[in-house]
Amino acid sequence: MNRSALRPPPPAVPPPLAGVPAFADLGVPIDGARRRGRGAQSNASGRYEAEARVAFDDGWQSLDDLPAFKTTVAIDTARKVITQNTSPDIGFDRSINPYRGCEHGCVYCFARPTHAYMGLSPGLDFESKLFAKPDAPALLEQELAAPGYEPRLIAIGTNTDPYQPIERQHNIMRGILEVLERAGHPVGIVTKSALVTRDIDILSRMAKRNLVKVALSVTTMDPKLARSMEPRAATPAKRLEALKLLSEAGIPTTAMVAPVIPALNDSEIERIVDAAAFAGVREANYVLLRLPLEVRDLFREWLMAHYPDRYRHVFTLIRDMRDGRDYDSQWGTRMKGTGPMAWMIGRRFEAACAKAGLNKRRTKLTTEHFVRPKRVGEQLSLF
């Protein structure tokens, strides 16, 4: 079936920048009442689908009568829970994702394209059709018990947030931490949720053995911008409060200024770093906005809906930092960008951290406490 024949014309946008195409593959905007509290504006079919499905009024039922997008959670029956990677520009080679999809709804989330692997849209489906892995703690214990397993830092929250709202009911992340604590295994956590403070009891015990560090992403200090860009994540004030509580409990914390979006939140770098330092943080990092695959068009739709006057300026600067493109996936530059604007953001961040006394020392976790879990049926040691 011809996908382009099914897709209605895209919404009106400013003229494209010189030599660069404008919107390439926009979805159809969904009525605001149906997507209230969500980040994406549309729900275009995934890139692997043979057909494109578009809602239209056929005269039998009005589009106004369609139900709102509600959060549903299906069970992901994964056989393994530790995912390996060989990326040369990140500081870990393994990670765990307790959930697929993320209810936080961050419009810029680089994990959105992964929902296409499930036959779903990286748009509204990504933040409303979620998958939980209730067997993750048991699977993790089995994998740690494997004879050939060598312990190294496990990263959690690098793809979807382990403390997103559905964690309150499923408690998968807490179960994972219980396994890691028993095994004496190091873990690094990234989140945007204040729910992480629920597990301070476990995290503080692990911190005493140098087994854990926690990073919270503080994208902006503007509650209005945060609510539209990260609709179901914790407010900026709650994230800073969480950093303070974690730090006071002796847990090493990092503030992530991520993503930095030129002409939208880059002016807040110094303010965020100062606020994080005041909360007790001793380390900070930043990541430049990344727009792989469908994320590019979802971010454009959002930008046109909320900040149409900044559309051309934002994308001009993005392309200046991506060698003339909307996104550059090159190792070593995808996180920080290239060119004068990217260089300036990097130097501003470094200066802000130096002034606040951050990054004087980096937390390095240990594997010396690792004790391999006993496998089912394994005979206990005599001594």
pLDDT in tens, 86-131: 888 888 999 999 999 999 999 999 999 999 999 999 999 999 999 9
Phi, psi angle pair for 356, to nearest 5°:
-85, -5
Using one digit for the tens of pLDDT, what is the confidence trace for 209-260? 999 999 999 999 999 999 999 999 999 999 999 999 999 999 999 999 999 9
List all residues 6 or more positions away from 65 whose beta carbon is below 8 Å from its beta carbon: none
pLDDT category at 64 given cuts 50, 70, 90 is: low
Domains, the chain, with CATH or none? 72-356 (3.20.20.70)
Q: Measured between alpha carbons, how far is 376 from 249 in angstroms, rounded to an integer?
A: 35
pLDDT category at 52 given cuts 50, 70, 90 is: confident
Question: pTM of whole model > 0.75?
Answer: yes
Q: How many CB atoms lie within 10 A of CB 80?
A: 12
- Strand bridging mode 72-75 / 99-100: unpaired
Tokens matching residue 139: 């699977």
Reported as type and span, the H/E element at residue 355 is: helix 340-356
DSSP designation for 123? T
Judged against a pLDDT cut of 50, whether residue 350 lies above it is answered with: yes
Is the model more confident about 87 or about 140?
140
Using one digit for the tens of pLDDT, what is the confidence trace for 155-189? 999 999 999 999 999 999 999 999 999 999 999 99
